[in-house]
Chain A
Amino acid sequence: MLVRCYRGKLSVWAALCVLVLCWFYIFPVYRLPSDKEIVDEVLRQGQVWQKNQTGIDLYRKLLTECCDPQRMFAVTKENSPMGKVLWYDGEFFHSHTVNNETYALFVQDNPLQLPLKKCAVVGNGGVLRHSGCGRDIDQADFIMRCNLPPLSKEYVKDVGTRTHLVTANPSIIEKRFQNLLWSRKAFVDSMKVYGSSYIYMPAFSMKPGTDPSLRAYYALADSSSNLTMLFANPEFLRTVGKFWKARGVHGRRLSTGLFLVSLALGLCEEVTAYGFWPFSVGLDEQPVSHHYYDNILPYTWFHAMPEEFVQLWHLHKSGTLRMRVGRCPPQDGGS
């Protein structure tokens, strides 16, 4: 009986599955608020913001428990001795064993002077354009930027000039500097904008990213540049990814901005985030470009930017960090 009618059983199961899928489509368990709702929410909140010391302390404690950013955020000689296996956080079962050659490239110990007082994490969102936040940003003690943004004259008013830590994605080196296989002058010259800051590269996250990152180190060292290269610790990146996944960020990978915000929450006493706005419409209903310097959209479904924004907005509402999404208030005086 069972053997004879298996075809009939199969169709029944198939129909049931389709029904369940339809059910979930109509009544989703989890739904991201639409852009419009988020804009409304942000507008309702307005410029009101109250610092919440308990929230700050709580998050610092949570992050220290899960990820230990003070010790683990970079690959150092302390936390990655010779022979340590670094498991790539963006790959399945791929690792790099620290050997003589790579060990020499690591910094001795965490180079940041802790604790940091006022941190600014500058995203590259299009909202920064014409925001006039440059002076605001420059007043912070520690300024973090993402993915080697341009700091040319036309943007200074909006994004500031000082930098203490800037991340660089290996894919940028691959695209903009031909993997540093040919001329390296363009790369070294473009790095002069960042003064004597730290360059934070996820060298051990993706397989194709390792060689360009190491090459960036060699290029900077060859030209005796005063930038310091820090390689992101894959373990730190993985634990931070887990931390946010548990809080409802379902991207394949966190964006660099969120990594930096988590780092800042763990290290700084006061965090302000600028330029985090992943939507195509601004607060004033005007279209906003994706980055403040261009409008090249990223690969879809790689980062879950809106979800990340919602999380950050929760933190903003609870007073743990401050988000700047509109214009910065014009400051009095010339300071």
Chain B
Amino acid sequence: VRAPLHFSHAPLLWMLRRRMGYSDPSSGKDLLGNRSLCFIFICAFGLVTLLQQILYGKNYIKSAQQFSRLKGDETGNWTGPVNFSDDGSLKPARNGKKRYLDTYDGAYDYNSTACKELRQEIMDVKVLTMVKTSELFERWRNLQVCKWEQNKVETSNFKMSLSRCCNAPSFLFTTKRNTPAGTKLRYEVDTSGILPITTEIFKMFPDDMPYAKSQYKKCAVIGNGGIIKNSKCGKEIDSADFVFRCNIPPINEKYSADVGTKTDLVTINPSIITERFQKLEKWRRPFYEVLQNYENSSVVLPAFYNTRNTDVSFRVKYMLDDFDSQRGVFFFHPQYLLNVQRFWAVQGVRAKRLSSGLMLVTAALEMCEEVHLYGFWAFPMNPSGIFITHHYYDNVKPRPGFHAMPHEIFNFLHMHTRGIINVHTGQCR
């Protein structure tokens, strides 16, 4: 099975072959030889994969449609063929089980038997691929009727293991204390790349970690998922003691009702600066104006992620100094990020890179007593099956295969049921 030679090249190749005295001895005979078998195998594999994709994809869409029809009451104006029962509180579910369809959450106490059952249902899903996404969504939706309460034992255990592995209160950022001048800092990804900390760089570090252990009572980590749109969670978020945000999301009037305005820490991905602000090599004021939207918030950059990020991140610090801004600029410690990645890999989140949301949640778990998550949802539809945008401000999809978002979210759902964090996916009031 040889590729046909192109017309124009054929005589040339033939001549070459003549001159070199080379001719493939198996060219005529290789009917079921090594190469052809290999080729057939590859073809078969590809075909099977394609078929699988098609079948699975179809199934997925079908189930989603079915699913949204069943849950018509949450889609608001669309009622569909579902007949409401007289009080609307109890309805027979699809598979004969009881369904708790209260219109408000918090009806059931955390420790009631019903809630324990519901929580067990989620915990039964050991891996994401075990059940259909729609099934997981339904279980998650059912759990919403229960009040969330922190499980002290689980939480303290979790925090203990986190502080053993990562120790955010002293290693989250590079500081003068944990990275003395002259240290050879190893990059997170380009492990061959080593950055010697010169006095110039050392001067940019803060003296010590600005945040202590369990300093704040209630923290909110705001993801940028489209799930937060129309959630009206702004007030609730603003009432938190400490608010984390990822990748400088817009928080102007258009969105502030949903996402709030309070920001204490915001991460910036250097790729954003590269794309939107030309690496800060040209204009700098537009970027400064963007940062001015976040009052008093500190800026965190993964400067030591790879060699490309370093220059851009340092430029942010220089720029803020030039504008006489008092805003804190911190750089994630590469070792901390590596430790966190290792920690989550054990928990089942394996990806090329963790999302900055997960990084912040990890840091928040050590810094705060209670962690609330808003806007973390990595599926194309919300729990009631309505399609949502990727971000609350746009619908730009990320590079596939880079982050393992669904796994991260699944992990959060588990942690929610275990009572470690509180994941908000519905509307606030």
Interface residues of A (CB under 8 A from B): 181-185, 188, 211, 214-215, 218-219, 221-223
Residue contacts A-B, CB under 8 angstroms, 17 given: A181-B281, A181-B315, A182-B314, A184-B318, A184-B319, A184-B322, A185-B321, A185-B322, A188-B322, A211-B281, A215-B282, A218-B282, A218-B284, A219-B284, A221-B285, A222-B283, A222-B285
Number of residue pairs across A and B with beta carbons under 8 Å?
31
Closest 10 CB pairs of A and B: A222-B285, A183-B318, A185-B322, A182-B318, A222-B284, A218-B282, A218-B283, A184-B322, A183-B322, A181-B281
Name which of A182, A185, A219 has the most chain B CB atoms within 10 A of its CB: A182
Q: In chain A, what residue has the closest Cβ to B288?
A: A222
- B288 contact set on A, CB distance < 8 A: 222
A183 touches B282 (CB 8 A): no
Q: In chain A, what residue has the closest Cβ to B311?
A: A181
Q: How far is the CB of A320 from chain B (nearest CB, A)?
A: 43
- A182 contact set on B, CB distance < 8 A: 314-315, 318
Q: For chain B residues 301-326, which have a beta carbon within 8 Å of chain A?
A: 311, 314-315, 318-319, 321-322
B283 touches A183 (CB 8 A): no
- B321 contact set on A, CB distance < 8 A: 183, 185
B322 touches A214 (CB 8 A): no
A214 touches B282 (CB 8 A): yes
Q: In chain B, what residue has the closest Cβ to A211?
A: B281
A221 vs B288: C-alpha distance when bound (angstroms) = 13
- B319 contact set on A, CB distance < 8 A: 184
A188 vs B318: C-alpha distance when bound (angstroms) = 13
- A223 contact set on B, CB distance < 8 A: 322
- A222 contact set on B, CB distance < 8 A: 283-285, 288
A181 vs B282: C-alpha distance when bound (angstroms) = 9
Q: How far is the CB of B267 from chain A (nearest CB, A)?
A: 22
Q: How far is the CB of A100 from chain B (nearest CB, A)?
A: 13
0/1 interface trace, chain B 265-308, chain A, CB 8 Å (1 if under): 00000000000000001111100100000000000000000000
- B283 contact set on A, CB distance < 8 A: 218, 221-222
Q: How far is the CB of A285 from chain B (nearest CB, A)?
A: 46
**13 further interface pairs, Cβ-Cβ under 8 Å (given A181-B281, A184-B318, A214-B282):** A181-B311, A182-B318, A183-B318, A183-B321, A183-B322, A184-B319, A184-B322, A185-B322, A218-B284, A219-B284, A221-B285, A222-B283, A222-B284
Q: In chain A, what residue has the closest Cβ to B285?
A: A222
A185 vs B288: C-alpha distance when bound (angstroms) = 15
- A221 contact set on B, CB distance < 8 A: 283, 285
A182 vs B288: C-alpha distance when bound (angstroms) = 15
Q: In chain A, what residue has the closest Cβ to B279?
A: A181
B284 touches A184 (CB 8 A): yes
Q: How far is the CB of A181 from chain B (nearest CB, A)?
A: 6
- B285 contact set on A, CB distance < 8 A: 221-222
Q: How far is the CB of B423 from chain A (nearest CB, A)?
A: 41
Q: In chain B, what residue has the closest Cβ to A179?
A: B281
Q: In chain A, what residue has the closest Cβ to B283?
A: A218
Q: How far is the CB of B277 from chain A (nearest CB, A)?
A: 11
Q: How far is the CB of B288 from chain A (nearest CB, A)?
A: 8
- A211 contact set on B, CB distance < 8 A: 281
Q: How far is the CB of A34 from chain B (nearest CB, A)?
A: 48
- A184 contact set on B, CB distance < 8 A: 284, 318-319, 322
Q: How far is the CB of A51 from chain B (nearest CB, A)?
A: 48
Known contacts: A181-B315, A182-B314. The answer to whether A215 contacts B281 by CB under 8 A is: yes
A210 vs B75: C-alpha distance when bound (angstroms) = 57
A222 vs B44: C-alpha distance when bound (angstroms) = 61
Q: How far is the CB of A104 from chain B (nearest CB, A)?
A: 11
- A183 contact set on B, CB distance < 8 A: 318, 321-322
A219 vs B280: C-alpha distance when bound (angstroms) = 11
- B315 contact set on A, CB distance < 8 A: 181-182
Q: How far is the CB of A116 from chain B (nearest CB, A)?
A: 33
A182 vs B321: C-alpha distance when bound (angstroms) = 10
Name which of A181, A188, A214 has the most chain B CB atoms within 10 A of its CB: A181
Q: How far is the CB of A210 from chain B (nearest CB, A)?
A: 12
Q: How far is the CB of A248 from chain B (nearest CB, A)?
A: 42
A211 vs B282: C-alpha distance when bound (angstroms) = 9
A223 vs B283: C-alpha distance when bound (angstroms) = 10
Q: In chain B, what residue has the closest Cβ to A188?
A: B322
- A218 contact set on B, CB distance < 8 A: 282-284
A215 vs B318: C-alpha distance when bound (angstroms) = 15
Q: How far is the CB of B291 from chain A (nearest CB, A)?
A: 13
0/1 interface trace, chain B 315-352, chain A, CB 8 Å (1 if under): 10011011000000000000000000000000000000
A12 vs B319: C-alpha distance when bound (angstroms) = 69
A223 vs B318: C-alpha distance when bound (angstroms) = 14
Q: How far is the CB of B357 from chain A (nearest CB, A)?
A: 30
Q: In chain B, what residue has the closest Cβ to A217?
A: B282
Name which of B282, B283, B285 has the most chain A CB atoms within 10 A of its CB: B282
Q: How far is the CB of B282 from chain A (nearest CB, A)?
A: 5
Q: For chain B residues 139-167, which have a beta carbon within 8 Å of chain A?
A: none
A218 vs B315: C-alpha distance when bound (angstroms) = 15
Q: In chain B, what residue has the closest Cβ to A185?
A: B322
- A215 contact set on B, CB distance < 8 A: 281-282
A185 vs B318: C-alpha distance when bound (angstroms) = 9
Q: How far is the CB of A125 from chain B (nearest CB, A)?
A: 34
Q: In chain B, what residue has the closest Cβ to A178?
A: B318
A182 vs B318: C-alpha distance when bound (angstroms) = 6
Q: How far is the CB of B271 from chain A (nearest CB, A)?
A: 18
Name which of A185, A188, A222 has the most chain B CB atoms within 10 A of its CB: A222
- B314 contact set on A, CB distance < 8 A: 182
A188 vs B323: C-alpha distance when bound (angstroms) = 11
- B284 contact set on A, CB distance < 8 A: 184, 218-219, 222
Q: In chain A, what residue has the closest Cβ to B314?
A: A182
A188 vs B322: C-alpha distance when bound (angstroms) = 9
Q: In chain A, what residue has the closest Cβ to B322?
A: A185
